[in-house]
Amino acid sequence: MKEFFRLTRNALDTDNDETFLHSLIQRNALFGALEQFSSCLSQGFIEKMIFLEEMIIERLKTERKRMIKDIDEVSRKISTVKAYSALFPIPSMPAFFDLTG
Amino acid sequence: MMKASIGQGILSIPPDRKICNQLKLSGAETEGSALRYDDSSFWQDTLRKMNNTIMRFMETIELINSAVSGKELPTNTDLEQILFSFAESMNGLLSACNRACNENDMATGNGSGGVQDNLLKLRGILISVLKMQESSGEEISVNLKSIGVKLINDASLVIDKRTVRDAISSRGGEVIKAVKTIVSSLFEAMPLCIDPNSGNLVNVRRKLEENDGNHSEVTAALTERLEKERCELMEKLRITELLIAHSNQFLDNLKLSAGFFPIIHSLYDSSGHGL
């Protein structure tokens, strides 16, 4: 229980995205154990956990949005790179290059 | 500036790429004669400047290539100055590309869209070469970053003088190797030269890759790096989705255990600490 709570706090306290995800991945393994003790949890503790969990979910959703944006950006770059041709790294442009040479 | 400092250490210009000594003769450097347009509208003027900027860049890397191409460097070759000249020239071209692409007048000029596309692609090519240097650390023993030349925000090269000096004094051979690698990559990605007769910028066509349309080594390396980056992001996204699902499930269970608390947020401050 303490470990679960510690990992949750670690995740929320860090500004590093990697650490955030790493803490949550570690925490994920403890969900099962936590359920076994759920009947013993005090009302106050559950209230606090609910609040923390909502913050976790909110940040995860923000991360997800950022990742989708990053993936989109990388995909766009890949398309651009693939559009390059070794034959004409810079497309022919009469105003730019003299192709008669 | 660059010519004076590097020129003293340069032996000769390879005859098959005779551009440098012809540049002044052609008048292209000062007059912009490489662009043969009579119309002097603004965007064409920008083109002329770009054309000359590219030529000066090609001239610089030709000089650098000549300076480092021998088995042993002449004793008076200033490696530090070579790196500075390279960064200065690269930054000049990158900023010229950015400026030209941002000119509003170009956007409305006849044919300007194609020019802007070309400039954007040119910028992409330059960045991809520099990025390849950063990502190919395993293949070459040293890259620009490790010798104190860093690409910042995909916009300019910044030189850490101390790192550069340390690298030159302790592993000069590796510095030369890094310079050689990037110069050859640039030649591969930008097969341009200046016609010695006309002074015009010429796009040297490649024969080897004409038929199969394969990408150059530079673009292949960049594509591979981007694909890897995308795979990593996809995997992260998958894990994040999984974590969201588990957290939602956990939250539902908690709410079931405790009932619904509509004013629960007021019990804690914004950091989650109990009040």
Dihedral angle sign, alpha carbons of residues A39, A43, A46, A50: positive
Residues B67/B77, Cβ–Cβ less than 8 Å: yes
Place of tokens 């969900």: A31
Distance, in Å, from the CA atom of B64 to the CA atom of B228, rounded to the nearest integer, reads: 33
Higher pLDDT, A96 or B66: B66
Distance, in Å, from the CA atom of B168 to the CA atom of B206, rounded to the nearest integer, reads: 35
Interchain pair B264, A88: CB under 8 A: no
**Structure-token pair, residue B264:** 């629960």
Residue B151, helix vs strand vs coil:
strand
Place of tokens 């990502």: B135
Would residue B233 count as lying in a domain? Answer: no
Interchain pair A99, B35: CB under 8 A: no
Would residue A46 count as lying in a domain? Answer: yes
Per CB-CB distance under 8 Å, the chain A contacts of B51 are: 96
Would residue A77 count as lying in a domain? Answer: no
Chain B interface, best mutation among A47, A58, A70, A100, by max B CB count within 10 A: A47
The boundaries of the domain holding residue B147 are: 2-204
Interchain pair A38, B210: CB under 8 A: no
Interchain pair A46, B268: CB under 8 A: no
pLDDT of residue A59: 93
Distance, in Å, from the CA atom of A42 to the CA atom of A47, rounded to the nearest integer, reads: 9
Q: What is the pTM of this model?
A: 0.45
Would residue B263 count as lying in a domain? Answer: no
pLDDT of residue B92: 83
Is the pLDDT reported for residue A75 higher than 80?
yes
Q: At B230, which amino acid appears? A: R
Distance, in Å, from the CA atom of A21 to the CA atom of A27, rounded to the nearest integer, reads: 10
Residues B202/A99, Cβ–Cβ less than 8 Å: yes
Per CB-CB distance under 8 Å, the chain A contacts of B274 are: 48
pLDDT along chain B (275 residues), means of 10: 33 38 39 38 61 76 76 65 84 80 52 62 79 56 73 82 84 80 79 56 50 56 84 92 90 77 45 44
User: Which chain B residue shows the shortest CA-CA distance from A32?
Assistant: B250
A93 pLDDT tier (thresholds 50, 70, 90): very low
pLDDT of residue A78: 78
Interchain pair B209, A63: CB under 8 A: no
Per-state percent for chain B, helix, strand, coil, to nearest 5:
65, 5, 30
pLDDT of residue B77: 63
Would residue A45 count as lying in a domain? Answer: yes
Would residue B252 count as lying in a domain? Answer: no
Per CB-CB distance under 8 Å, the chain B contacts of A11 are: none
pLDDT of residue B204: 58
Does any CB of chain B come closer than 8 Å to the CB of residue A63? yes
Residues linked to residue B86 through DSSP beta bridges, in sequence order:
none
Interchain pair A64, B219: CB under 8 A: no
Per CB-CB distance under 8 Å, the chain B contacts of A47 are: 258, 261, 264, 267
Interchain pair A74, B264: CB under 8 A: no
Would residue B231 count as lying in a domain? Answer: no
User: ipTM strictly over 0.85?
Assistant: no
pLDDT of residue A44: 82
Per CB-CB distance under 8 Å, the chain B contacts of A36 are: none
Does any CB of chain B come closer than 8 Å to the CB of residue A58? no
Interchain pair A60, B247: CB under 8 A: yes
Per CB-CB distance under 8 Å, the chain A contacts of B229 are: 74
**Structure-token pair, residue A94:** 């009469």
Q: How many domains does chain B have?
A: 1
Residues linked to residue B193 through DSSP beta bridges, in sequence order:
B202
Would residue A53 count as lying in a domain? Answer: yes
Would residue B80 count as lying in a domain? Answer: yes
Would residue A85 count as lying in a domain? Answer: no
Average pLDDT, chain A: 77
Going from the C-alpha of B197 to that of each of A92, A98, A101, B49, B107, the distances in angstroms are: 20, 12, 9, 20, 33
Chain A interface, best mutation among B203, B216, B255, by max A CB count within 10 A: B203
Q: How many domains does chain A have?
A: 1
Would residue A9 count as lying in a domain? Answer: yes
Chain A interface, best mutation among B123, B185, B233, B241, by max A CB count within 10 A: B233
Would residue B162 count as lying in a domain? Answer: yes
Please provide the DSSP assignment of B184-238 as one string. HHHHHH--EEE-TTT--EEE---STTTTT-PPPHHHHHHHHHHHHHHHHHHHHHH
Would residue B66 count as lying in a domain? Answer: yes
The boundaries of the domain holding residue A7 are: 2-62
* Alpha carbon of residue A61 to chain centroid: 8
